[in-house]
């Protein structure tokens, strides 16, 4: 196949990568010469938009929500950090992991354990939880040096299973003694004390938004820098990356470590959220659910992570509120993933704007054909 035969957008190519068919390389959505020529202005606009949205979310949103929905959106914010990491791993580095959900549990566990043992401030706990989870993530990522696609998914799913088993044995620390820090008298649910500046639910929501924003900046910083380019090369093909001098071992493990760092940070935040954490919150099958929403949200844009978190946390709550069975979600997500794999590799964050634009054109075309009868109705593209 000649390269010139490829369509420019949405082109899953046959370049020999072993990722699932529609997850292979493709042009970034909307990436044209125009945007690249006005890179700095485009960046400025995006920064302003991002900051505006952030301010709106931080200060506007809590006032509109009661305590139940505030709890839900807080968890959306926390989960968006995990989906961000997994999205980067799949979309940018071209690898898959099914243990990110359980890495949240590890992050929560580490933060709780260290909190019971020391009096370190909350941000330090979050950071340590992230770093230790990153180290474990890099270990679990070792098979990724040899395996990809289905086999890597299988290995990471088994790792997730192993973590669940260990978690059942160890339980979350609740002030007991020993290495595991758990005593049967302490109750099944553990909660990390919040920082003094974010003791209330609203303040903690804002705190989480700030941490999530930092994680998104960390992601952008990676993607615009040397790691992002190295991952782009790796995703295209291993030999291209090696021929360009990319240390493929380092960058593969780094991608795993970064995604796991984010999962660990999210886990620590989750441990301090309302309700705390208990072991029943982390069933293995949620790993697959997490993968599904990340694919549906879109792995080629970091904003896909927000959509994914909304699908994962807000949608079930909404369905529940409307009296619809949340069992329906499994079916919906199944159809959604099928749709993404078959027709919309960019996910919702890429597809919805396109669909809206198409709809707009169709409506405009219809309006033209109704008002101006002079010319026959033309098919909209």
Partner 1 sequence: MIEVEGLTVRFGGVLPIDEMTVTLAGGTCGLIGPNGAGKTTFFNVLSGFVKPVAGAVRAFGEDLLAMAAYRRARWGLRRTFQTEQAIANLSVYDNVRLVHENTGGLRGTRRQDVMDAVAFVGLDREAHRQVGTLGVGERRLVEVARAVVGQPRLVLLDEPAAGLPDEETEHLGELIRRIPQEIEAPVILVDHDMSLVSGCCATTAVLDFGKLIASGPTAEVLRNEHVIRAYLGTEEEV
What is the contact surface with partner 1 in residues (CB under 8 A)?
A: 2-4, 6, 8, 11, 13, 15, 25-28, 31-33, 36-37, 39, 226, 229-230, 232-233, 235-237, 239-248
Task: Indicate the residue among 32 and 193 with the shorter CB distance to partner 1.
Answer: 32
Do residues 110 and 277 lie in contact, with contact meaning Cβ atoms separated by under 8 Å?
Answer: no
Please work out, in degrees rounded to the nearest 5, the angle formed at the alpha carbon of residue 78 by the alpha carbons of 73 and 80: 90
Q: How far is the CB of 233 from partner 1 (least distance, A)?
A: 5
Q: Which of 30, 40, 157 is nearest to 102 (CA)?
A: 157
Residues in Cβ contact with 115 at an 8 Å cutoff, skipping those fewer than 6 apart: 125, 173, 192, 193
Across the strands, what pairs with 277?
Answer: 190
What backbone phi and psi angles, to 5 degrees, belong to 101?
A: -65, -40
Q: How far is the CB of 344 from partner 1 (least distance, A)?
A: 18
Q: How far is the CB of 302 from partner 1 (least distance, A)?
A: 14
Q: How far is the CB of 257 from partner 1 (least distance, A)?
A: 19
Task: Indicate the residue among 44 and 242 with the shorter CB distance to partner 1.
Answer: 242
Task: Indicate the residue among 18 and 380 with the shorter CB distance to partner 1.
Answer: 18
N residues, the chain: 381
Q: How far is the CB of 246 from partner 1 (least distance, A)?
A: 5
Residue with tokens 């597809």: 351
Q: How far is the CB of 113 from partner 1 (least distance, A)?
A: 38
- How far apart CA 261 and CA 345 sit, in angstroms, is 26
> Kind and range of the H or E element at 58?
none
Task: Indicate the residue among 8 and 378 with the shorter CB distance to partner 1.
Answer: 8
- How far apart CA 114 and CA 120 sit, in angstroms, is 8
Q: How far is the CB of 238 from partner 1 (least distance, A)?
A: 9
Task: Indicate the residue among 223 and 341 with the shorter CB distance to partner 1.
Answer: 223
- SS3 state at 277: strand
Task: Indicate the residue among 2 and 373 with the shorter CB distance to partner 1.
Answer: 2
Task: Indicate the residue among 9 and 318 with the shorter CB distance to partner 1.
Answer: 9
Tokens of 206: 């804002």
Cβ neighbours around 339 below 10 Å, total = 15
Task: Indicate the residue among 22 and 248 with the shorter CB distance to partner 1.
Answer: 248
Q: How far is the CB of 90 from partner 1 (least distance, A)?
A: 14
Residue with tokens 């999962």: 263
Alpha helix positions (H), 272-314? 285-297, 304-309
Do residues 183 and 176 lie in contact, with contact meaning Cβ atoms separated by under 8 Å?
Answer: yes
Task: Indicate the residue among 10 and 127 with the shorter CB distance to partner 1.
Answer: 10
Q: How far is the CB of 31 from partner 1 (least distance, A)?
A: 5
Tokens of 84: 């961000």
What backbone phi and psi angles, to 5 degrees, belong to 190?
A: -115, 145
**8-state DSSP, 375:** S
**Could you give the C-alpha distances from 199 to 28, 119, 129, 204, 323, in angstroms and in order?**
41, 17, 20, 6, 32
């Amino acid at each position: 196949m000649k390269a010139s035969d490829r369509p420019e957008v949405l082109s899953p190519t046959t370049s020999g990568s072993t990722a699932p068919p529609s997850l292979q390389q493709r042009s970034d959505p909307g990436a044209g010469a125009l945007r690249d020529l006005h890179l700095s202005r485009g960046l400025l606009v995006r920064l302003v938009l991002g900051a505006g949205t952030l301010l709106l979310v931080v200060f506007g949103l809590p006032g509109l929500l009661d305590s139940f929905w505030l709890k839900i959106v807080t968890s959306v914010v926390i989960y968006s950090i995990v989906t961000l990491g997994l999205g980067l791993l799949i979309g940018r580095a071209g690898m898959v992991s099914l243990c990110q959900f359980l890495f949240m549990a590890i992050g929560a566990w580490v933060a709780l354990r260290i909190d019971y043992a020391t009096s370190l401030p909350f941000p330090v706990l979050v950071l340590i939880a992230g770093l230790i989870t990153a180290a474990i993530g890099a270990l679990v990522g070792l098979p990724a040096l040899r395996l990809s696609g289905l086999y890597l998914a299988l290995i990471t799913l088994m790792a997730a299973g192993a973590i669940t088993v260990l978690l059942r044995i160890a339980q979350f620390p609740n002030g007991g003694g020993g290495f595991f820090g758990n005593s049967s008298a302490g109750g099944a649910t553990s909660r990390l004390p919040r920082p003094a500046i974010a003791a209330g639910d609203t303040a903690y929501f804002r705190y989480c938004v700030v941490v999530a924003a930092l994680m998104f900046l960390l992601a952008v910083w990676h993607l615009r820098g040397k790691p992002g380019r190295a991952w782009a090369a790796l995703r295209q093909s291993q030999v291209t990356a090696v021929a360009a001098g990319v240390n493929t071992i380092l960058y593969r493990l780094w991608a795993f470590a970064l995604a796991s760092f984010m999962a660990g940070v999210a886990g620590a935040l989750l441990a301090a959220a309302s309700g705390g954490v208990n072991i029943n919150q982390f069933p293995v099958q949620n790993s697959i659910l997490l993968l599904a929403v990340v694919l549906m949200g879109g792995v080629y844009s970091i904003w896909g992570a927000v959509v994914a978190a909304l699908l994962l946390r807000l949608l079930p709550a909404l369905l529940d509120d409307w009296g619809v069975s949340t069992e329906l979600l499994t079916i919906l997500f199944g159809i959604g993933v099928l749709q993404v794999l078959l027709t919309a590799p960019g996910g919702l964050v890429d597809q919805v704007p396109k669909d809206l634009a198409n709809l707009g054109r169709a409506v405009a075309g219809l309006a033209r054909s109704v008002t101006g009868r002079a010319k026959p109705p033309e098919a909209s593209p």
